[in-house]
Structure 1
Amino acid sequence: MTPGAIAVLSLSMSTDAFAAAVGRGASHRPSLVGAIKAGLVFGVIEAITPLIGWGLGIVAAGLVEQIDHWIAFGLLAVVGGKMIWEASKPRDADENAGPRRAGPWALIATAVGTSIDAAAVGVGLAFIGADIWLIAASIGCTTFVLTTVGMLIGKSVGARFGKTAELLGGIALICLGVGILLEHLGVFAA
């Protein structure tokens, strides 16, 4: 993957964590230290999940070598589509009220929930032979920064901005999947 593609992937994988952080920040104003701690939790978990997915993908890669680019495309398209759907659905009263619990377990559960899609992307990355260590580090660092910033600005910008970021991230993932597919089909060279 090119550095630009890694940057797009990292930003896309971080948008759902950013959206959750904006929502958490909107419901209760965190201190700088609290925002950094939340950023670390989200960043570490978001870096680990693509590694798990990649490991599973490596096990299966030899079995699906002829269609690996279709699988990578499909996974990215599904994850991107889900992000677009989540971003475009209306918020109900409970979501607008923000999270009910703000303790460490609620934070970890939110981080795991927003990183499941990164595991699916990790599977796809195994199929195309991407440098998972660089990509996982990039995703983790980007998520740390965006989550920390999201927590701090959440109170002033509200949850709507997080939805827009998630929508753009979903579109970027679909475009990345199309690019992988077209490259492996020989439509254009990397």
Structure 2
Amino acid sequence: MAWDIVQWGQFYTILMIGFALGMDAFSLGIGLGTLGIRLRTIAKISLTIGLFHILMPLLGIFTGMFLTKVVGSVASFIGGIILCYLGIQMFWAAIFKGDEDTRATRKIGGIEMLLFSLSVSMDALSVGFSFGLFAVNVWLAVVVFGILGMLMSAIGLLLGKRVGHRLGTWGEVIGGVILFAFGLKFLF
């Protein structure tokens, strides 16, 4: 079955929004990647972000018609707090444990991974709220968001890992500052 111009237009719109949502995952992934995390951890984080980029818009779409104005600002606020917390924790660990070179074996725990994925996906929740007001192909949107979120976070994490090895402890400090700065962006 062939798509008409309206369906192609909706696809390109969803693709552009998915790319914009994925840019957060990419840029924040660079900051987290400076920890020198393992490839297996990068894969887990990327898959978790992809999953959250599917679940959060679905949640937003199903509740969007009722709570768009109130929860949209609350979601950004919560995401900002989480990112600030992760940034401070990363900065603190780099400054006070900087003498030990544990970067190559640094593991990201399950709670940290879930918090990071949740905070990166908060804007997808807000997009879902707005989609709840329009006739949008829900499944196409969430699949595109999930795939782009996963791919862009993996690219960001890999880039951060590569740059982080060259920067040493300062890479961790810079990564913490990046996460904190994005958290502040969501708060204000």
Q: Same fold (TM over 0.5)?
A: yes
Q: CA RMSD in A?
A: 3.7
Question: Take 1:17 and 1:156, find their aligned partners in 2: how far apart are those partners?
Answer: 17
Look up the match of 1:19. 27
TM-score where L is the length of structure 1: 0.60
The aligned runs of 1:174-185 (5 Å cut-off) are: none
Question: Take 1:42 and 1:53, find their aligned partners in 2: how far apart are those partners?
Answer: 16
Look up the match of 2:59. 52
Question: Take 2:118 and 2:47, find their aligned partners in 1: how far apart are those partners?
Answer: 13
TM-superposed CA distance for 1:133, in Å, is 1.3
* Amino acid across the alignment from 2:45: A
Counterpart of 1:34 (choices 30, 38, 41) is 41
CA shift digits 1:139-183 (9 cap, x unpaired): 00001111112111112346889x7xxx9xx9xxxxxxxxxxxxx
- Is contact 1:30–1:152 with CA below 8 Å preserved after alignment? no
Look up the match of 2:12. 4
Structure 2 residue runs without a partner (length 5+): 1-8, 96-105, 165-170
- Compared with structure 1, are the counterparts of its residues 97 and 128 closer, same or farther at alpha carbon in structure 2 (3 Å cutoff)? farther
The percent of aligned pairs where both chains have the same amino acid is 22
- Is contact 1:30–1:151 with CA below 8 Å preserved after alignment? no
Query: Matched residue pairs, number?
Result: 143
TM-score where L is the length of structure 2: 0.61
The aligned runs of 1:71-110 (5 Å cut-off) are: 94=91, 97=94, 102-110=108-116
TM-superposed CA distance for 1:119, in Å, is 1.0
